[in-house]
Amino acid sequence: MAFFVYILASRKRGTLYTGVTNDLARRVYEHREKTASGFTRRYGATQLVYYEPYDTPDSAIAREKRLKRWSREWKIQAIEAFNPQWRDLYEDLNR
């Protein structure tokens, strides 16, 4: 089973949300349908712009905690290195 750390954005350089899950497509769908997290619902952070896979839940959770301590600028740099166009990567998950 894979685990994922992910970042959602409301728009390019907009509000960012960092999370962790064992089912990335399902979790992003929940955010998009506004059935998850009051934060993402309130700020409209529904575009998947960044993710990292992990083999264990412990490693994914540890990475999520590190990312949450990062400055906003560091998160933006990571997103732009991974996804320079800030494309919504959700559709890529269902191919």
Q: Tell me the per-residue pLDDT of 11-56, one tens digit each, with 9 for 90 and over.
A: 999 999 999 999 999 999 999 988 876 888 889 999 999 999 999 9
How many CB atoms lie under 10 A from the CB of residue 4?
Answer: 22
Q: Which two tokens stand for residue 63?
A: 């990475």
Q: Which two tokens stand for residue 30?
A: 């929940």
At 9, the amino acid letter reads A
End-to-end CA, the chain: 19
pLDDT in tens, 46-93: 999 999 999 999 999 999 999 999 999 999 999 999 999 999 999 998
* Domain annotation for the chain: domains and CATH numbers: 3-93 (3.40.1440)
Please tell me the pTM assigned to this model: 0.94
